[in-house]
Structure 1
């Protein structure tokens, strides 16, 4: 290594040798071994699930539920995770748990463990997840739990814990989820909890809490769910300040003995679910317009009077409106379902029973999927139309449930001795496999009827549509939604150990990010396709080998870290982070930092009128910075354990990437619990916006081809010109942005991965082994099966984008996969039946070539796909052929500006992978405003010389 400081080389050699020595010599810290033995002795294990805990070393002898890692500070392995979910354990939790000083996850949910929570758990300052739900724990909450400065999730619900909530919990300044519902907690809710700036979900329902509702809770800046049902705040009112919870999605104060008037909740822009039933609220219902996101309003069993306000007639997402058992009078508003979306399987329940309503004029116009209940009102006098249409019979709305639609005839076709099942949705005939079974529950969903959101839920999980099957679902008390899921292999081969562990990890580590409408979720059980072992908690030889491999890898990584550290010290480290506390933002030289106040000012306090998009990461707002620059501000949703990593990844990558087809990062905000990225504003939004059925104007083929070429150029830069090269991992139409001239810019680098670094001889592997991440429908199938990521994984995703461009279809829709559907149509000679009907002018031959390229990109095998440079060259050929055709036939009538071949294909940053011809480029303008009435010729014309 020429030019390397000899002292540095010596340090590296010594550190590498020492690290490798540690890797092969490590055993579990003896203190932790003794602690685990004490924990084992405190538990009763009638099923023998902990039989591996009887001998050997915990970290290297396959102890069930133990995950370890090595430490740079000593030569021992340390217990990082204790995962004992649903093993039928009883007994008590040993005080020795506090000796597991490196523990990050403690999960003993859904057992029968009794006794109290050991206060010594408060000593584990590294703890991030404390999961004790569904046991028989009693006693008080130890104040020492407030010392867990890194805790992000506390779930102690469904136990028998009593006494008050310690004020020390206000020191849990990183906690995102506090789930303490279904216990026997008493006393006042500490107003000090308002200091929990990262708190997203506060669930305290079904306890014995009393006193007043702290008005200070309105200071929680990102709180989305406040659930306090079935407590006793007798004689108290709902604080007026609660209307200032601008991020609140769900407010449940059912059966809390509350009095006074109902607050005006129209000031909460994101609210989707209100339940204030079974209180003593009085006065009229506020008449201001509620959020368009509203799905459920339950104000039943109060003393609300006056008329039903007309603002309840303009809620497009409404599923249930319950006003029964009040003293409402006057008529039911005309066409109360007027603006509610009732397409497909959507339903609307309007329960007005037992009031004093006098008129309902829309009986004859009642849609089939709207149920109106009017029993106990003056409307229901004998002989009324309401009575004739059976709207006056007393009814109780039954709970919704769903069962599997798989036919028994298919199940019978599989061998029964192995427990195999037929996956009816699989594209592979005769697919008899053993699925992974998952017991899953939505703890506080923001809707009343799941069938409307079932497709959205499936798309949110990181599995292909034909892999995921909802065997059944049913509402439970809460209301909570319990599901039985089955996850089938991607092909006819059974899952291997690595695939099973990957699936298990996604659920038990909360790596799945659901849209906010689904609320928090929890894992109830896991049934793996492996016999004679505890289903969710087995540790295989592969896992043990992973520990050894991880130790060796860790040694190598440590050497690399030392190298990087020393090199950065020598070159004046450009990235620094202030260490003055949790509220201190990171600082990155060369990237502008913005304060939260600046972002609030730029977006009119994050007004819903400024919101221009939303995804799994959070919301995107249009803003105007102090210097007048228009910007897109991506505000990260709180609650994801991976959020900080992805946030920092995107900043670090974009700060050194500069290309006309990559979105430009202006700056970022990292203050307290807020994380925002500020990009250049793209006036034409995302590519997905323009391909959706609701887009105002369809794009012609030339523009679609222009976008395809720009996207490919941006990704080619990542693969070949970035240093080191980058795999994007999340190419999709919603991550391709369009500027004022419809130039494509690739965005969202939160999941990106650095390509393998060449060795001393300049060679590097073409792929990297990593956990599967990405978006269902765009995921490379070989990457999904093997965890091996390569540059052609991006090629596959871009191929799906190409298919969307030419068909207008979604990647997955109603169980249909775009790749499979297009391949089937092409093989059946029906390719042109797949073309977007709104793309009314195109050359058939050019479209055929483009479709062929897209299909090559979407081949299942990595080695069969073209490289990105080959994709770009092929697009150049199609572009020139199409441009020649357009010039001869003057068909580009939707373009409102001039653009050229060179403007799309030539790039001043790098042109090494493009062949630019020396002939004059083709330029064409559109000023005619005319709409073509016929198709282009059925072949591409030859290129003129």
Structure 2
């Protein structure tokens, strides 16, 4: 009977299709329907974005993200044209059935959590033009089959975990303009065969594991504009002299690539705007020929360059940054380097010549106020040259523009906007105080051709509004922030035109979104390639259907579908009702009362799986009165559980690009770690589309809060020493007693929390890595090779240069924290690096000038020992740093010798004032690497969260 029932159902379905066809209906190709169903089966959809994928026909019923051709092909069926599933919180894997969508032009899974490998079957979609898979967790090698897609224009797989070599078959991609593959683990030699690509414009493979040599044949690429290969390992390779013949090149970035040899003559590249060859082992002199007048950025720092500073650097009309620090340049500093250039109020220039062998200044040095010149560490600073002190001392630098908010000029006295947050005044409207609901867009420039955005802000507004076919006043740039790369991320608001309704209509939203997702906005020589991060619909736009498109079916076709469906509806209803009722009866008990399944794969002992209702109740439904902090990951709330336990709750914000991986990492690690100097994880919540971590609450917040003066009472020296020891003990436990051992990778003052007794507890394990396991011979490797992550100012220079993470990397970061405890300074602030500033003050006998005066009296001998230990931890060379066990031992000895060692940590120390002393060790070998690009860290969970740079 069961088999007969299934046969009958199948027969009726066939009858239904026949009826629809006779009625003149157009339907999606059955093979593509099955393919879409298989695709959905392989995905996890916690937000139920694909809930209509089991209703009706994909093209006719407007399945979310499925866009179809408006007319049928010769076979009489509708076909899928685009699969647009951007930023939908999807996980799971990519189904091989994607290859059956043989008419598709755009495949977009950007900014999800898809894992697994890229199916080779995608190589069967010969019509594919855009392959967009960036911002996921994809692994495995690139399929050779992708190299045989004849119409592919753009391949974006950046920010995944793709490994293996670049396939030589990619040399067949004659129409491909954009290779965006940065931030993966792609390894091996760049195939010289890729030099045959006639259309290649952007080649972005920075932050991978490429090796071998730079192919000289790349100079034959006829249309290459950007070559960006930073942070790879071309050990011993030179920069081919032929690269000076790349006539169309706009940007050459080969930072930290282990390159040797000399710098080729690049003066024949007429429009070169950005050159970064820093952090290599380049030698010889700088070529004397003048670079392009379009150049904005020249970074040749941290090499072995010698000889004079070329006069050709003078008078470059668009120059924003010239970085030549940490080389062996000699001779005179040319005071005429600015030429006759006049700067407006938005322009600034940074000229960094620190740590060279410059012995003199040619001419009179009197730069404008918005020009920063840095000459510290040169012999000329020890001379009696007039008016040189301000350039040789600690630099405040120009205003920090790594993150900026653009202020509106509109002032509206009459508050007529709706009271919710979705309507606001159009800032630059020609008619003041016009109220409208903007579209909110996350947008990023992936390889901009400048170092300072403010001088280009107006040009960018014109460029983007022209590309979107909007009027200039319809765009508002809320803020921008520089990210690792460097890349420039922005938060935009797009307003409807004045005179129309106060919201965009649906067709206009679809048009604007398709301009972004289809890359219909032309690339700019200055602004470079862009990407859409998010296109979130809030307020009045929440009900709009933008991920699908009407298929353009005629009324007659729809009538045919309706009558055909009615003809079999009664019979189908009867059969399906019987079938479904019996199946549901069997499963009723297993489904009833079942809550949304957690994505945590196993039950973890000692870590409670909280329900959303429990956490909501603890925070009074996440009331703003319970919020105690906020960061890039999300918000932190103070909660009180049902049993009275006070907790800190870190709640991931919707659309967070960095939270998922850190969420699972932190649960996995903290569930096995138990030490009085490590923050305790009490539980997590992973349901209702939410990810939250629940910790013990730290009532005294973060160490950074106390050092920055946010708290009323300053920390005494004795308390600071206790905090240093507690932090070191927690890290020592990670290195030696955790099983397996762990490298924290993000030690910083904001990740050291203080309980009610000021006991230090190390927090935030989202970036942590397991220490290397013994190999087959029982030998434990000394490092883990990994992409550099952490926080600027705390990064181990050797890890930054070699990508080799060791236990001494944590020692370096903790040493920076010790210097913060001693001085109260930030690790990096307005061009000042704390390690270098303290080292210079120490060597000059001026340590009193940097010691934090707020900690009262202290014994000079303890200050000396603590400072010596901190600077030893911050040595560039790994072998020169103490082990964490040595650090703990040294701190314990210091505390035993403190005159008030028996006091509680919160009581201030009282002793002799500090005496100037000769430094007990030589730090002449210390040459610190200044990290200028943002290498983002993870968020903190505690009483207060500072603002941080997102990844």
Q: TM-score when scaled to structure 2? A: 0.54
What is the deviation of 1:360?
2.8
Give the whole-Å Cα distance in 2 for the aligned partners of 1:134 and 1:424: 32
C-alpha contact 1:410 1:424 (8 A) present in aligned 2: no
C-alpha contact 1:441 1:522 (8 A) present in aligned 2: yes
1:745-760 matches, within 5 Å, as none
SS of equivalent residue, structure 1 residue 330: strand
What is the number of equivalent residue pairs in this alignment?
Answer: 530
Give the whole-Å Cα distance in 2 for the aligned partners of 1:82 and 1:23: 28
1:449-472 Cα distance to aligned partner (Å, 9 max, x none): 111111111111232111111010
Task: Find the counterpart in structure 1 of residue 37 from structure 2.
Answer: 37
Task: Find the counterpart in structure 1 of residue 531 from structure 2.
Answer: 522
Question: Is 1:445 paired with 2:454?
Answer: no
SS of equivalent residue, structure 2 residue 195: helix
Give the whole-Å Cα distance in 2 for the aligned partners of 1:290 and 1:549: 64
C-alpha contact 2:186 2:210 (8 A) present in aligned 1: yes
Name the CA shift for 1:72/1:361 in 2 (closer, same or farther; >3 Å): same
Question: Is 1:466 paired with 2:473?
Answer: yes
* Aligned match for 1:498, one of 484, 507, 510: 507
Task: Find the counterpart in structure 1 of residue 486 from structure 2.
Answer: 479
* Aligned match for 2:436, one of 433, 436, 447: 433
Name the CA shift for 1:444/1:51 in 2 (closer, same or farther; >3 Å): same
Give the whole-Å Cα distance in 1 for the aligned partners of 2:99 and 2:322: 49
Task: Find the counterpart in structure 1 of residue 420 from structure 2.
Answer: 417
1:87-126 matches, within 5 Å, as 87-126=88-127
1:81-130 Cα distance to aligned partner (Å, 9 max, x none): 00000011101100000000000000000000000000000000000000
Structure 2, gaps ≥5 residues long: 1-20, 559-951
1:800-831 Cα distance to aligned partner (Å, 9 max, x none): xxxxxxxxxxxxxxxxxxxxxxxxxxxxxxxx
Give the whole-Å Cα distance in 2 for the aligned partners of 1:354 and 1:550: 79
Question: Is 1:513 paired with 2:522?
Answer: yes
C-alpha contact 1:376 1:392 (8 A) present in aligned 2: no
SS of equivalent residue, structure 2 residue 350: strand
Name the CA shift for 1:65/1:386 in 2 (closer, same or farther; >3 Å): farther
1:469-618 matches, within 5 Å, as 469-491=476-498, 493=501, 494-529=503-538, 533=542, 537-539=546-548, 543-544=549-550, 546=552
Give the whole-Å Cα distance in 1 for the aligned partners of 2:328 and 2:276: 18
Give the whole-Å Cα distance in 2 for the aligned partners of 1:549 and 1:124: 32
Give the whole-Å Cα distance in 1 for the aligned partners of 2:494 and 2:459: 17
Give the whole-Å Cα distance in 1 for the aligned partners of 2:557 and 2:189: 49
Task: Find the counterpart in structure 2 of residue 67 from structure 1.
Answer: 67
SS of equivalent residue, structure 2 residue 358: strand
Task: Find the counterpart in structure 1 of residue 47 from structure 2.
Answer: 47
Task: Find the counterpart in structure 2 of residue 941 from structure 1.
Answer: none
What is the deviation of 1:441?
0.4
Give the whole-Å Cα distance in 2 for the aligned partners of 1:534 and 1:303: 60
SS of equivalent residue, structure 1 residue 437: strand
What is the deviation of 1:147?
1.1
SS of equivalent residue, structure 1 residue 452: helix
What is the deviation of 1:65?
0.8
SS of equivalent residue, structure 2 residue 461: helix
Give the whole-Å Cα distance in 1 for the aligned partners of 2:294 and 2:308: 23
What is the deviation of 1:51?
1.1
Name the CA shift for 1:547/1:23 in 2 (closer, same or farther; >3 Å): farther
SS of equivalent residue, structure 1 residue 466: helix
Name the CA shift for 1:22/1:240 in 2 (closer, same or farther; >3 Å): farther
What is the deviation of 1:333?
1.4
C-alpha contact 2:376 2:391 (8 A) present in aligned 1: no
Name the CA shift for 1:394/1:430 in 2 (closer, same or farther; >3 Å): closer
What is the deviation of 1:401?
2.4
What is the deviation of 1:155?
0.3
Give the whole-Å Cα distance in 2 for the aligned partners of 1:440 and 1:319: 23
Name the CA shift for 1:548/1:350 in 2 (closer, same or farther; >3 Å): farther
What is the deviation of 1:36?
0.3
1:899-918 matches, within 5 Å, as none
Name the CA shift for 1:254/1:534 in 2 (closer, same or farther; >3 Å): farther
What is the deviation of 1:135?
0.1
SS of equivalent residue, structure 2 residue 35: helix
SS of equivalent residue, structure 1 residue 365: coil
What is the deviation of 1:342?
1.8
1:39-74 Cα distance to aligned partner (Å, 9 max, x none): 011111111111111211100112111110134322
What is the deviation of 1:151?
0.1
Give the whole-Å Cα distance in 2 for the aligned partners of 1:144 and 1:430: 56
Structure 1, gaps ≥5 residues long: 1-20, 553-945
* Aligned match for 1:402, one of 382, 390, 404: 404
C-alpha contact 1:215 1:239 (8 A) present in aligned 2: yes
Task: Find the counterpart in structure 1 of residue 357 from structure 2.
Answer: 356
1:564-600 Cα distance to aligned partner (Å, 9 max, x none): xxxxxxxxxxxxxxxxxxxxxxxxxxxxxxxxxxxxx
SS of equivalent residue, structure 1 residue 186: strand
1:725-755 Cα distance to aligned partner (Å, 9 max, x none): xxxxxxxxxxxxxxxxxxxxxxxxxxxxxxx
Name the CA shift for 1:24/1:294 in 2 (closer, same or farther; >3 Å): farther
Q: Which moved more, 1:425-434 or 1:317-326?
A: 425-434
1:726-741 matches, within 5 Å, as none
1:862-921 Cα distance to aligned partner (Å, 9 max, x none): xxxxxxxxxxxxxxxxxxxxxxxxxxxxxxxxxxxxxxxxxxxxxxxxxxxxxxxxxxxx
C-alpha contact 1:71 1:77 (8 A) present in aligned 2: yes
1:223-372 matches, within 5 Å, as 223-340=224-341, 342-361=343-362, 364-372=365-373
Task: Find the counterpart in structure 2 of residue 28 from structure 1.
Answer: 28
1:597-652 Cα distance to aligned partner (Å, 9 max, x none): xxxxxxxxxxxxxxxxxxxxxxxxxxxxxxxxxxxxxxxxxxxxxxxxxxxxxxxx
Give the whole-Å Cα distance in 1 for the aligned partners of 2:375 and 2:554: 68
C-alpha contact 2:410 2:427 (8 A) present in aligned 1: no
Task: Find the counterpart in structure 2 of residue 182 from structure 1.
Answer: 183
C-alpha contact 1:59 1:547 (8 A) present in aligned 2: no
What is the deviation of 1:369?
1.7
C-alpha contact 1:250 1:274 (8 A) present in aligned 2: yes
Larger RCO (alpha carbons 8 Å, 6+ apart): 2
Give the whole-Å Cα distance in 1 for the aligned partners of 2:320 and 2:508: 38
C-alpha contact 2:129 2:153 (8 A) present in aligned 1: yes
1:198-209 matches, within 5 Å, as 198-209=199-210
C-alpha contact 1:316 1:339 (8 A) present in aligned 2: no
What is the deviation of 1:545?
6.4
What is the deviation of 1:428?
2.9
RMSD across aligned positions (CA): 2.4
1:136-192 Cα distance to aligned partner (Å, 9 max, x none): 000010001011110000000000000100000000110000011100001100000
C-alpha contact 2:59 2:551 (8 A) present in aligned 1: no
C-alpha contact 1:526 1:536 (8 A) present in aligned 2: no
Give the whole-Å Cα distance in 1 for the aligned partners of 2:454 and 2:92: 41
Give the whole-Å Cα distance in 1 for the aligned partners of 2:397 and 2:140: 39
Q: Which moved more, 1:419-428 or 1:403-412?
A: 403-412
Task: Find the counterpart in structure 2 of residue 852 from structure 1.
Answer: none
Give the whole-Å Cα distance in 1 for the aligned partners of 2:553 and 2:160: 35
1:470-492 Cα distance to aligned partner (Å, 9 max, x none): 01001000000000111101115
Task: Find the counterpart in structure 2 of residue 58 from structure 1.
Answer: 58
SS of equivalent residue, structure 1 residue 181: coil
Give the whole-Å Cα distance in 1 for the aligned partners of 2:233 and 2:543: 42
